[in-house]
Chain A
Amino acid sequence: MKKRSNEEWLNELRARGPEQEDALANLHAIILRGLPFALSKWLSPSDPHFTPFTEEVAQDTLLRVLDKMDTFEGRSQFTTWVHKIAVRIALTELRRLRWKDVSLDNMIDSEESYLPPHLMADSTPGPESSTEQSDLLAHVQRLISEELTDKQRQAMIAINIEGMPIEEVARKMNMKRNALYKLMHDARLRLKRRMALEGMTPEDVLSAFE
C-alpha cells in the first residue's frame, strides 16, 4: 500500500475513477487493520459478530469520511482523523447494544421496591462510622437535594453508580451526549459553589473519610 501525505489522501479521495477507488480501498484496509486494537476491550476478533460488525463500521466510516472531508483541518494525520471517526461509530453502536434493554426508570424504581421496611428503621451506625462522618454525609445529601434537579440526580445515579455511558443516558433522556455532559458539569459546579458558601470544600469532606 502506498504511503500518502494528508494532501494526497484528500486529492485522491476527491478524484473520480480508479484513483479514488484505490484510495478508498486502501483506507478501508487501514480502518479494518485498526479496529481489532480499538475494540480490544469490547469484542474479540474470534467472536462470530466481529467480522460483520467491523465491516459495517468500516463502510459507515468511509461514508462519513467522504461526507465530512471538507471539515478536516490537517492538524493531525489524516488516518488518525479517520480512525477517530471509526472509533466513534463502533463504540456508539456497541454501547447502544450493551444498554438497549436497560431503562432509567427501572433503575430508580428498583431502588424503591428493594427496601424492606425494617431496614428503614435500622439506623445503628457501623463500627467504622463517626458522628462527624454521619453529619457530613447528611449535609452533602441535603446540598444535593437542594441544588440538583431530579434529572441531574437521575443521570448521576445512572453514570456514577450503574456505570452507564453518558451517551446512553443521554439517549434515554432524549438529549445529546454533549448536552448531558454540560448538565453534569452544571451539577458539579452548583455543588462546588454551594459548598463554598457553606464554608466546606471537597477536600475537607474527603479528609474526614480517610
Chain B
Amino acid sequence: MIDLIERAKRWLLGKPESEIEAGSTKMLKKLMKAVEQTQEVEYDCAEVYDLLDQYVDMVNSKKDATQLMPLVRHHLDMCPDCREEYEALMNVLENQPAAG
C-alpha cells in the first residue's frame, strides 16, 4: 500500500487520481487552513527577526504581545522556523528571569 506521504505528494504534483485518500485529504486540510489564515500583508522572516527580542520580552513580562504586535504573532503562526526560534528563546527567558 502506497503511504500517506506519497499520496499527498502525488496530489500536490497534480497526478491523476480520482479517489479520496487519507494522505491527500490531510494535505488538503493543512493547505486550506494555511490559505484561510493568509493575509494580504504579512511580515516576512527578516521583519519578525528584527522584532523578536522585543516581542518575547513583552510575552515574558505578561504584556498582551498578540494585541500589541499582531503581525509578529501571525507570522509565528505561519512560519515553522520562526516559531521554533521563538519557542527556543521563550524557553531561555522563562528559565532565566534574572539574567542580565
Contacts and interface: CB of A to CB of B under 8 A. Distances in A.
Interface of A: 3-4, 9, 30, 33-35, 37-41, 75-81, 83-84, 87-88, 90-91, 95, 107-108, 111, 114-115, 119-120, 122-126, 128-130, 133-134, 136-138, 140-142, 144-145, 153, 156-157, 159-162, 165-167, 177-178, 181-182, 185, 188-189, 191-192, 195, 201-203, 205-206, 209
A160 B54 CA distance: 29
A37 B96 contact: yes
Contacts of A115: 2, 6, 10
A78 B87 CA distance: 18
Contacts, number: 187
Contacts of B9: 107-108, 111, 157, 161
A160 B11 contact: no
A107 B5 CA distance: 11
B35 A114 contact: no
Contacts of B22: 126
A161 B4 CA distance: 10
Interface in B64-84: 78-81, 84
Contact of B20 (A133, A159, A162, A165): A133
A177 B81 contact: yes
13 contacts: A9-B100, A37-B94, A39-B88, A40-B91, A108-B13, A114-B2, A115-B2, A119-B2, A133-B20, A133-B25, A177-B81, A181-B79, A192-B35
Given A124-B19, A160-B30, A206-B32, A80 B38 contact: no
Interface residues of B, number: 58
A39 to B, nearest CB: 7
A195 B18 contact: no
Contacts of B94: 37
Given A40-B91, A75-B54, A91-B88, A156 B12 contact: yes
Interface string B15-49: 01111111011011111111110101010111001
